[in-house]
Chain A
Amino acid sequence: MISGILALMVAVLTFIALFAHMVLDGAPRLTWDFFTSFPSRRAESAGILSAWVGTTLVMLVTAFSAVPLGVAAGVYLEEYAPKNWFTEIIEINVTNLAGVPSIIYGLLALGMFVYQLGFGQSILAAGLALALLILPVVIVATREAIRSIPVAIREGAYALGATKWQTVSDHLLPYSSAGILTGIIIGLARAIGETAPIITIGALTFIAFLPPSPIKSEFPFVSFEWLTAPFTVMPIQMFNWVSRPEEAFQLNAAAAGLVLVVMTLAMNGLAIYLRYRMRKNIKW
């Protein structure tokens, strides 16, 4: 009993130490300039502008590719898949994908997206690599959300003459949307903090400019040039600063880490809150 509380305290204390250490070192650096400056050779004037813009754009690519694919795969496995050996293979495979170390996805992206498909060390390649990484999370969340809907809902829809897809799109997906959203947020929170696959793509460079803007003033108003632009992201910027010997840069690393931790904690917290509310409110 007491040892249980002690063990829990180890985790709590570590968290407090981690957070306190970062706040003590990083908080003084968190000024407005830090968010609006490019990285620099001089630690005091370096900032995370290109990093947070890069992270936002990479996350856009990740969300737009992982969400439709993951939800579709989840719906298929839960509602359509026949019980046979092939379905079993897909299911085992999803479990295995979730266990593949993230750096392996980086190697896949390096070989396939960067060189074979010729995307280069771009936002597109990084976004797709992270999309593959969080695909299992989205699939599993979708499946669990759909599974918790009672069979009676499906039977009701079928009894009124709905087809399978009408049942799925008009009933199952709307009712499970909160659960799916929770999974998507957790997946994206993981993707934001992933460093290894993006280093493997070879994106650790000094980036002191922004990718071309996705919104243009003249027709057709949107541009996809940014997809192929070189970039940097938050965790990479932090890793870059951590690995420098000068202490001034390590303070920058603490500040960047603080921003990163607050972002992931906020996303995970939101997901936990959504799940909590869902459990309280939904009574079939």
Chain B
Amino acid sequence: MTEESRKRTVHAGKLGFSMRRRVREKCIEAMLFASAVLSVAIMLAIVVMLVKESIVFFQHVSIWDFLTDTEWTPLFDNAHYGILPLISGTVVSSLIALVVALPLGTIIAIYLSEFAPFSVREMAKPFLELLGGIPTVVYGYFALLFITPLLQSILPELPGFSLLSAGLVMGIMIIPYVSSMTEDAMRAVPMNLREGSYAMGATRLQTALRVVMPAALSGIAAAYILGISRAVGETMVVAIAAGMQPNLTWNPMEPAATITAYIVQVSLGDLPHGSIGYQTIFAAGLTLLLLTLVFNIIGHMLRKRYREIY
């Protein structure tokens, strides 16, 4: 409001002033509301965009072929459109990542929440947070040029690109997410449960494993599920270190492509807008979105539950 208009509102008398004021308040509220609704609009836009291009794709390729064909070669002359090789790559790399991240993340969380002295916690938490902030492309570089040669000195037959090294690095990358959410869940368990356990003569470890962990179970489960969802959606590490060849395999020693790596591979080339190759990345993206959405919704529900218990 300028000085001029402010004078005018004062002159307009008390009624006009409160009217103006109310209109202004309503306008501001409407603007804030619009910003909040924008987040819903973004979600809708994502779904509409993916579904729209996928529908065109599924007019070319039957859903049955998409789900059962064992080859994914959309850019070849003899094109096959089976999502299974991409799913297998995603599942194998995610499993390796989880085998690393879940146990290590849980142990770190138990240690920080139940055992660590205050000073160690104050140091470790920001450190883990920093670790979680390192760009994924840097982790990809690390997997390809450090972990793979390191593994090759132990397993000489390991190829230059493999699901194993991508998965391992992805697991280390996810540790901070798992540990910080697990720790939050464990610290939300009230102190008197622990005190009761100590009073019964339990040791710290017994208390942590048999009292605190079961009490924080749904929160820990949520942390695991959100960790899974991150592993499934992770892109750069697998695109760099696992090679980008779709390959229906369950062997972590082979190179393969994940759903995300395929999208990257196509985007690197110059596919014309509206071609079938262009539509495949949207169909692959839709599959990925559905996978992660299921995990996220379960995780969200579990987290809500543990917050409400105490």
Contacts and interface: CB of A to CB of B under 8 A. Distances in A.
**Do the two chains belong together in a single complex?**
yes
Contacts, number: 250
Interface string A144-167: 000000000000000000011100
Contacts of A235: 135, 137, 236
B264 interface: yes
Chain B facing A: main interface SS: helix
Contacts of A132: 42
Nearest to B297: A96
Interface stretch (B2-10, B80-88, B108-116, B191-199): B108-116
A64 interface: no
B175 A189 contact: no
A260 interface: yes
A269 B103 CA distance: 27
Contact of B138 (A69, A94, A260): A260
Contacts of A89: 40
Given A99-B226, A108-B45, A115-B273, A269 B137 contact: no
B32 A72 contact: yes
Interface string A119-140: 0000000000000100110010
A90 B135 contact: no
A278 interface: no
B289 interface: yes
A103 B288 contact: yes
A76 B281 contact: no
B87 to A, nearest CB: 15
A11 B111 contact: no
B277 interface: no
Nearest to B27: A165
Given A15-B131, A111-B282, A69 B38 contact: yes
Interface string B285-302: 100110011011101100
Contact of B42 (A18, A97, A239, A253): A97
A14 B226 CA distance: 22
Given A73-B38, A90-B40, A103 B141 contact: no
Interface stretch (B59-67, B70-78, B121-129): B121-129
B43 A69 contact: no
A100 to B, nearest CB: 7
Contacts of A21: 142, 145-146
Contact of A257 (B128, B141, B176): B141
Given A4-B112, A239-B140, A73 B35 contact: yes
B104 interface: yes
Contacts of A261: 134-135, 138
Interface in B228-254: 229, 232-236, 239-240
Contacts of B205: 1
Interface of A: 1, 3-8, 10-12, 14-15, 17-18, 21-22, 25, 68-70, 72-73, 75-77, 80-81, 89-90, 92-97, 99-108, 110-112, 115, 132, 135-136, 139, 163-165, 186, 189-190, 192-196, 199-202, 204, 235, 238-239, 242-243, 250, 253-254, 257, 260-261, 264-265, 267-269, 272
25 contacts: A4-B115, A11-B127, A18-B146, A73-B36, A96-B300, A97-B39, A106-B267, A107-B263, A193-B136, A194-B135, A194-B136, A195-B135, A195-B137, A196-B236, A199-B268, A202-B267, A235-B135, A238-B138, A242-B144, A254-B145, A257-B137, A260-B137, A269-B130, A272-B126, A272-B130
Interface of B: 21, 24-25, 28-29, 31-33, 35-40, 42-43, 45-46, 49-50, 52-53, 103-104, 107-108, 110-112, 115-116, 124, 126-131, 133-142, 144-146, 172, 175-176, 204-205, 226, 229, 232-236, 239-240, 260, 263-264, 267-268, 270, 273, 281-282, 285, 288-289, 292-293, 295-297, 299-300
